[in-house]
């Protein structure tokens, strides 16, 4: 029989269960306790009412919230794009090829090098409170390289996404139709067994709406569920396509028409916002306030990748979203936990309630608001993942 642990003396417990505590979306419980048994939460409530358990942890009047759910990252890569970032931030033109630079380095890397990089970034994210993460292929762009990336990723997470349609492979740059045929045929056959999701970068310079539809529907026919890079750099068909195909999420969502906002608000498709990308490219911020006021479900994620958002810190993204995207601290924390879970169609993570996985983050602060109030400060003091303290 598994042992039980109570974490007590919690000043503010974010449950994301509106039936609890203050009955807000955060379900905030003051002077709270949580009981863990095995890998699950079995009880939440006031500290004075906590049942007897085998073990006891004193939170010391600090805040506890669900582990962050990072629903968009690109962690299977090799190489470094420091020079590109430095040039961009210095106002100098840079023509090193962006994604294709990483593709060349990734193809040249060994499996061991790719896995070492992945585990390094996962450990980095865990120390900052991330307990569930999605990651994508997309830097191989050959059947062999895409499938090996997914095999490696699947050893570390269930949330694996096939992104063969990141850009057209350089060797087929003059024949994008041939590359779409490869992605929807041989490459998909090799990659589908190792992934849960299929994604496409629907954007000028990558894949248009018709190509994106062909790729995502081919993935659906193989049992993969769609998500999509949509409307990041310009207005386009990505959001409407996401809603049409019941994609779990449309990611970026920077350039939206009123019709796009309405479509998201009236669908199950989550708008996943990735402020690290705008920070790292000095681009226009997504308007989270507009989406939230319309009733859309919003997630926050890191978009951790070597080119446009090389951060694994969800707390940093929370601070950006509050400062520059019109979100309240409560909304940003919800979007980085329950919102991320919704973007992965999960209800066993992103909340602290009986039956959910015991994924908890203890802050060295009395309130979750400190994540935005004290930007850049390492506030994560302890992390439990599936009932085991890992930080």
Compute the distance between CA of residue 147 and CA of residue 170 in angstroms, rounded to an integer: 18
Q: Cβ(129)–Cβ(95) under 8 Å?
A: no
Provide CB contacts within 8 A for 267, sequence distance 6+: 243, 246
Residue 40 parent element (H or E): strand 40-46
Compute the distance between CA of residue 124 and CA of residue 129 in angstroms, rounded to an integer: 9
pLDDT of residue 259: 98
Dihedral, 341, 292, 162, 80 alpha carbons, nearest 10: -100
Mean pLDDT value across the chain: 96
- 234-252 as b/e, with b when 16 or more CB fall inside 10 Å? eebbbbbbbbebebbbbbb
Residue that the structure tokens 């109030």 belong to: 373
- Provide the β-strand partners of residue 226: 198
Compute the distance between CA of residue 70 and CA of residue 377 in angstroms, rounded to an integer: 19
pLDDT of residue 176: 96
A 10 A CB-CB count for 309 gives 23
Mean pLDDT of 94-117: 87
Query: Looking at the predicted structure, is the pLDDT value of residue 287 above 50?
Result: yes
Q: CA 170 from chain center: how many Å?
A: 27
Provide CB contacts within 8 A for 194, sequence distance 6+: 147, 150, 151, 153, 154, 160, 162
Mean pLDDT of 4-29: 96
Q: How confident is the model at residue 96 (pLDDT cuts 50, 70, 90)?
A: very low
Q: How confident is the model at residue 35 (pLDDT cuts 50, 70, 90)?
A: very high
Residue 41 parent element (H or E): strand 40-46
Query: Looking at the predicted structure, is the pLDDT value of residue 244 above 90?
Result: yes
pLDDT of residue 97: 59
Provide CB contacts within 8 A for 190, sequence distance 6+: 143, 144, 146, 147
pLDDT digits 0-9 by tens, 109-149: 999 999 999 999 999 999 999 999 999 999 999 999 999 99
Question: Is the pTM higher than 0.85?
Answer: yes
A 10 A CB-CB count for 189 gives 12
Provide CB contacts within 8 A for 250, sequence distance 6+: 227, 228, 230, 231, 238, 239, 242, 243, 264, 269, 270, 271, 272
């Amino acid at each position: 029989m598994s042992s039980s642990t109570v974490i007590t003396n919690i000043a503010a417990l974010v449950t994301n269960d509106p039936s609890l505590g203050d009955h807000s979306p955060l379900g905030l419980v003051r002077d709270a306790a949580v009981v863990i048994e095995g890998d699950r939460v079995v009880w939440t409530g006031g500290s004075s009412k906590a049942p007897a358990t085998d073990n006891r942890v004193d939170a010391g009047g600090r805040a506890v919230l669900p582990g962050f759910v990072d629903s968009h990252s690109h962690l299977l890569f090799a190489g470094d794009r420091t020079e590109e970032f430095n040039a961009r931030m210095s106002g100098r033109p840079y023509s090193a090829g962006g994604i294709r630079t990483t593709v060349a380095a990734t193809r040249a890397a060994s499996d061991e090098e790719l896995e070492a990089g992945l585990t390094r970034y996962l450990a980095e994210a865990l120390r900052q409170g991330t307990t569930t993460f999605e990651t994508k292929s997309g830097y191989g762009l050959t059947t062999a390289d895409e499938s090996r990336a997914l095999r490696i990723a699947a050893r570390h997470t269930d949330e694996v996404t096939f992104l063969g349609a990141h850009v057209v492979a350089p060797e087929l740059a003059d024949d994008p139709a041939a590359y779409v045929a490869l992605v929807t045929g041989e490459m998909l056959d090799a990659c589908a067994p190792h992934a849960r999701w299929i994604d496409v970068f629907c954007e000028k310079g990558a894949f248009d709406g018709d190509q994106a539809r062909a790729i995502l529907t081919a993935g659906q026919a193989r049992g993969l569920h769609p998500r999509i890079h949509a409307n990041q750099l310009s207005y386009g068909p990505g959001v409407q396509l996401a809603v049409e195909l019941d994609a779990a999420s449309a990611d970026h969502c920077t350039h939206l028409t009123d019709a796009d906002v309405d479509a998201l608000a009236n669908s199950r498709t989550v708008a996943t916002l990735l402020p690290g990308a705008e920070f790292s490219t000095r681009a226009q911020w997504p308007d989270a306030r507009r989406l939230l006021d319309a009733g859309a479900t919003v997630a926050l994620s890191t978009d951790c990748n070597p080119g446009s958002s090389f951060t694994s810190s969800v707390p940093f993204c929370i601070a950006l979203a509050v400062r520059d995207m019109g979100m309240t601290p409560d909304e940003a924390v919800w979007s980085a936990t329950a919102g991320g879970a919704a973007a992965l169609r999960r209800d066993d993570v992103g909340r602290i309630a009986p039956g959910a996985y015991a994924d908890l983050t203890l802050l060295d602060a009395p309130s979750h608001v400190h994540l935005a109030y004290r930007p850049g400060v390492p506030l994560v003091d302890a992390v439990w993942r599936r009932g085991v303290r890992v930080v």
